[in-house]
Structure 1
């Protein structure tokens, strides 16, 4: 934008002044429109609900299932130990009964 105005007899050249004022007026209108648009955007952002924040961390799914699996294995070990103890007890009873029967036969 050329802002240099030539001095003529009684002031500046009226055509140049008119041209410059027109350009400045257009620039002012454009800046005012942009300013209004930016103010509207700021207002929208101020009225918008706040951005969601990170939620509390959820318990790790793998930790949960790892603990669950460990509990199942522990229960299985206990069950196997109980079955093994009962089998030994039953076997001892069968052996004792067989020995008693064998002694009676002799």
Structure 2
């Protein structure tokens, strides 16, 4: 994993639980800003970048809290591509690595 990607996705055990710091990708769609959290395959939106990031934070917190309450956190994280890391005592899961977010593909449409 490259150092920059690692800093964008960090998980730390705290006295209150687990603190997730996850990458958020912002995309403009008309007047709205879409916020996508790749590690959770979660999408939300806001009227501004700050609103979209706040919405992503709230949605991710609600999603993770609900998974924890339902006792399905491990199953869902593994389904989302997280890897179980037996070496970590804090939180034994590593999110999928975004290796490059600025590449493009060439696609032709024969319409």
* TM-score, with length taken from structure 1: 0.23
> Considering only CA atoms, is the larger Rg found in Structure 1 or Structure 2?
1
TM-score computed with the length of structure 2 as normaliser:
0.22
Larger strand fraction of residues: 2
Higher helix fraction: Structure 1 or Structure 2?
Answer: 1
Q: Specify which structure has the bigger relative contact order, considering alpha-carbon pairs within 8 angstroms and separated by 6 or more residues.
A: 2
